[in-house]
Structure 1
Amino acid sequence: MEFRLLGSIEAFTGATTIDVGHARQRGVLAALLVDAGDVVRTDQLVERVWGTRPPQRAQPTLYSYLSRLRRVLTSPSGAPLLHRRAGGYQLAVDRSAVDLHRFRDLCARARSTSDDEAAADLLGAALDLWRGNAFADLDTPFFNLQRHAAAQERLAAKLDRCDVRLRLGHHGELLAELLTRAEAHPLDERAAGQYMLALFRSGRAGDALAQYRLTRRRLKEELGADPGAALQQLHERMIAADPALHATGPPAAPPAPPVATARQLPAPPAVLIGRARELADLDRVAGTGGAAGEAMGIAAIGGTGGIGKTWLALHWAHRNLDRFPDGQLYVDLRGFDAAGAPVPASAALHGFLEALRVAPGEIPADLPGRTALYRSLVAGRRMLILLDNAHSTAQVEPLLPGSASCMVLITGRRQLTGLVTAFGAQPVTLHALPSTEGLELLVHHLGGRRAAREPEAASALVTHCAGLPLATSIVAARARVQPDLPLAVLADELGDRSARLDALDTDDLNANLRAVFSSSYRALDPDLALLFGLLGDAPGPDVGLPAAAELTGWPAARTRVALRRLVAAYLLQEHTPGRYRMHDLVRLYAAERCAHEQPAAVVDAARQRLSAWCTATAVAADRLLSPQRTPITTGPPPPAVSAVPVADAAAAMAWFEAEHRCLLALHRDAVEHGRHAEAWWLAWALDTFHWRRGRLHERAAMLEATVPATAALRDPATAALNHRLLGRAYVPLGRHDRALHHLRQAMRGYEAAGDPGGQAQTELNLALAWEHTGEHRQALTHAQRSLRLRAALGNPAREAEALNAVGWYHARIGNHEEAAEYCRRALTLCRELGFLEGEAYTSDSLGYVAHHSGRLADAAGHYADALRLRRELGDTYEEADTLAHLGDVYRAQGRTGDAADAWRAALALYEAQHRSRDAATVAGKLLDTAGRPPAPGQSSA
């Protein structure tokens, strides 16, 4: 069997084409073939095939594609080649059966042989495998990246083959091909050099020199750079008519001019805590350049001010001095210096040339001249160039050597995207230190004994410094100069958020946190400064694009660009796709700048837009989660500025997940500042989400905090509803007295307001409260009262809810026939109304009735229906209980394996929801079934 990826996706058995399906299914095949023979995780397959926006039923759709592929991809004996493995899928084929892997193997063999004739044949065979663009017709981020990488490998193979054929003397045959490639890749110096050499050897030296001038002009216009050392040397040898250029084989390199050894590195930091991953990244960059590689190693170390960029660079540089025996150059470019302007590239080059022992009178006056001389002097030398505190790509470009033997380390507070694009620089981004490493850094500065005397205060200091090494060092310095000052006093000072930046001020501008942040802030244009300040002022730990657009009042496209520019300035982090957050101390500084520099009217309007958008969207999202829920009528929520960005229940649940912490923060802010209606709407809108996700403590806390707000609204029905929801929230938490207190408060409020619907729902909640104490007959009495009220109100959905409750409590006292009759009536109503939540509860009740009536097959069917509906609703709280009950039925049927699977899935949900009592019960059942406790990490199915 043969597979083709270098063109359209195809599969063959001999000469027979295998039908591997439509484009999406071919994408699944291609996603497996990229890692042929290896296991590809299911989530990886989804991401590869659909990108960042998979359909709602991506996994079931993926399974159907895999099933079809499994039927058609078989061995000669008929055995399937596609296998389900732990966590993913494996296409068990040899890599040599895939043209992409065969291409790479042929190229590797060609590059490892010293026989040019054999190398040419191998590279020719590799290139003959291509039939067009790789992964044709597949358009996702994964395949686009694979296609681009494969295209680069193809170009490299073509260039390698031309090098070999030039050494073999085939320059005349190559002229047309080399001309075409030089025009197609006008900035590729290797392609230009090959074409120039072929022209020169064909007796066309003038054309070769003209090609050099053309290439130099293009590089200057497009990149602002001169040709690299290799192309410059080839040009000089052609001018000198070097006879060695006519010989076959690689041109001999001219001797390098003597260069004085420069040792400009500052002293290394006294200690570097953590950063193991980043140090490994720098090691990898060093391994791709220098004598071992074809490209210069460039690492762009980025991060916010005070994060430790220079410390990392100097630590790595001193640890790797043996890699650079020809010297090290260093310059502080002062790109974000608190006391001065950035150093011009021309001035930095003057310093480099002096360090390389160029006489002052011989240093060119112009920037191009200095750049050319500098590159000539370091060409072929194994040197490290450290460009510290860079301001921009334009400042750095003239300082880049032209030789692959050098390595460049660049630090800065902006993402130097131009260097990544044009020169292949590898970004190395520093983030805040984890708390363990932050504590290690503090202990290093303070000494172990002092930190050990006040461990809680030391831990608090680490928390307040939020993983910023500079802040930790400043705090430690203050403690060291005041050895008698208790750490607890310092921790209390930093504990006041409004004064925390004051506590981190020093007289030294380079060790003053405000000054460090200020130098980054001053570089922002007014729009970015406004967004930066508003983000610092906004409640919540992070922000999504729609919310940021509401803050600014700008269109989404303009806001997105501004967010990306703040990310590029390392003042913001895109910690997950589409969501942005600030470092805690940067956020304090942003809020401070907002308060001092933005007009109060502008800030108030931004808060109102954000509040209106969040509240209106939350209410709309809740309606999608629970369409049958009785709407509240305490006036409409504030109108949102833009359209509500949720389309269905799944999108609503995802929106709540993403915005949850921000909504909690907005609710706290509304309560604290007396925005009573907003606080109530948010609490009401989050109630369904909290219940279905098992966030019971957050649910109760939010509703409890809202009680004063609903009292202040002076609407008895609203206050009663909040009490009812709060009483219902306390029931599963085991707070029986609190539940009854609030439910009775709710009943009195509904009676005073003449609201029988509210009374009926409260009766149902009272039934639940008594059920949790084991008083099932008392619960049945309340459920029957609820049913009588509901039957008279003409609300079929609520009547169905009450019917199911009466049936359920009949079942709990052993009246199974009555229970089944009530529940069947409820189920019929729910299905007629499309009331999925009610249908799920009723199916669960019927499962219980069937189980306890000895009808195990019926019980399994009802519980399976309930489970399907719970998952469709995203109701993981009730899903856990249904799984536990289903496991009980399976055990009664003797299906111990299925029972264990259901219990493990229930246990995983119980643990995630911190329902320790339920988790212990299910774990005990698993122990009884298996004779041993579940292994760690196996509590999910």
Structure 2
Amino acid sequence: MCPAPAPLPDPGQAVTLDDLVERLRLLKVWADAPSYERITTGINAEWAREGRPEAEMARKTTVVDCFRSGRKRLNTDLVIAIVRALHPDQGYVAQWRQALRAVAGEIVMAAQVRVHDELPGGEQDFVGRETELARLCEAAAGGSVVISALEGMAGVGKTQLALRAATRLASAHPRVLFVDLRGFDPKQPPAAPSAVLDGFLRLLGMPGTEVPHDLPSLVGAYRERAAGVLVVLDNAADEEQVRHLLPGAPGSVAIITSRRSLTGLPAITHLELDVFTAAEAVAFLERAAGDLSLGNDPKALSRIAERCGFLPLALNLIVGHIRAVEGWTLTDHADRLDDRHQRQRLDDGVQLALDASYQRLPEDRRRVLRLVALHPTGEFDSYGAAALTGQDLDDTRVHLEGLRRDHLLQCASGRYSFHDLVREYAAERASDEDPPSARQAARGSLAGYLLATASLAMDVRYPSDTRRRPRVEAAKTATPELTDPDAALTWLEAEHPALVTSVEVGEPLHAVQLSLTVFRHLNRDRWSTALTVSTWALAAARSLGDPVLIARTLHDVTAALLELGRPEDALHVLEEAAELLRTTDDRDGAIRTLVLLGVTDTRLSRFREAADHYYQALELNKATGDQAVEAHILVNLGAVEERLGLNSSAARHLERAQRLYADMGDVDGEAWAIDGLASVEIELGRYDSALEHFTRTLNIYRQRGNVDAEAWCVQGFGLLFSRWGQRDRAEREYTRALAMFRELGDRTGELYVLNGLGEATGDVALLTEALTLATELGSVDQQARAHAGLGHALGSREHYEQAVELYTQLGAPEAEPLRALLATAL
């Protein structure tokens, strides 16, 4: 008999570059292990057909390097070519491209985007474009869905035209949304549509816990809420980035700008912009010049406009320069630009205008411009700018406002940003004028500020976890007042992109400390981001060689994997953490390892093993006296003991956890414990008490906007009424919970409801769907539950036998009554 073929390696399960390299090796084996020479020849033949020059062809040594572990980076282009040479399936190659982006962090970086519910400050000196403005406003007047695609080269004024039109239209729309999609940002990838939709939905009033995670659900939720909304999608990369962001609701308007021709969009008003005409450029300068003396050349404004190439961005920058220089005539400005051009110091209008504006600034303001250009995301508030420059906060604000008035910075919602070309220019100036040590010091100061402020915000927002987070130095520059949980959350959300980027690009110790500090916040509802950030931190911890830090980052990787439904992968990670901690005296780390092992065992339906781990954790925790940790363990233990039929013990543990959380003032923890207690009371037949407890926790979850917990509570009501014999109420509650879980994308919750609703109604289709989903998710106890339900609904001995086998394997109490039923009734 021929052996079964090896499975095709799945790149999507890779967490690190070494994981990808290992899968690349497995793919080579799967493809009958061709020689590196043969792979290289195949790649070059394909590249030659694509027209690549000889100088760019692959070499055998570089191909071999892609198969070596320990790489800090991979040549994505070459790896994709290798995959195509080994298995030229388009779908499989796409999986590798996605995995490479995810491991490299590009997907996570694309998910870091700021959205706004107000328009950035428009320019007061806007002139020209009247024809285009009229067409845009006329198209929107009908109140139908309007898509206006504005296209043109960088600096041609697309954004300003879009903002001008949006300003005119805003009064007719209840909400305005704005986002820079970063389609052509030199330092960051284009914004992911899912991240933009996430932000838009939050601005439109949807609680973060309700925001869906898959793109189709995000689009559906957005379009349900976007009636009458005006959306400005600035700097789009292509049609695909924009397509999902179109509101598509009655009365909504979308205005899009891009350097590319977006011919694939159903544009009602489609405008391609060029530079100003000579007359428009002069009119722009005339309005800006105001009463400034013309001098002896009547054509001075025409000369200035020509030197700026009639490009709106360049003209706008020159305006800032003209206004700020006292005692000069317009002829003086024109002569200066002619002189600089003749000496060929600059080669286009934007650089000419930028240099004129920059040279006019006082040195301390130039320094501010140069250093804020080093911000990793290019968007910052005054505190972040003060950290980069090391200046007093008030002085920093004065400089930022001065740069904004000179059109070198933009501002929206209290946060500053650059036009792409201005940022690139300022960064080049920093590279030329600030020594590497000064630039490194600025980045280090910002990193320290972000870490210190994030630590403060997390302590305020999540006080029960304070002891587990690293203690860090206070910031050396000004920090915002974060005295209440809402203010702390607002700061964490506003700085989310900067925090994530700071982990990726920061020094190893900073990356580890920052990741450990903000992990709980990330792992609330941004599980993929939490996994990527903790994986970056893990690499940094390994470079430091500190076993405690490595173990703690491994814990965070584990927690993220569990949230993503990957318990088998989590188990392997935990095994490494446990091995490392055996060489240390880190009791807290050992306790967390045991707790995570318990959670992992629970997800794998290994309830006895989970209980053992929780009891070990409780014993270790006695020496620390940490009540928050004790309460957390007790709730998890109570849930496991319920599954094992140890209901009296589970009730005692959950009651103590409730008291501990109440003493600590942890409302969320107390509700979690009460929820678990209600479930145990159902098993004990205390239906009135269970109803009282579920009602109490439901009110808490609704008050705090915790929709996921609310859905589980509603599921609990369904189970309660089903056991209580109130079928109609059970069916009603289960149906509500099913809709909630499906909207949330919580497949585990959906599985529990399908089984419960199938039990309550005897619906074979629902139970069959539950069995399929349980098998897909690897949930053995829910597979057994579905088999038991099908056995009852169909009178099937086969299904009952399957349920008994699975329940016996789990050590679950449900096995005995089913075994007795098989012996007597069937």
* TM-score, length basis structure 2: 0.50
The structure with the larger Rg is 1
TM-score by length of 1: 0.44
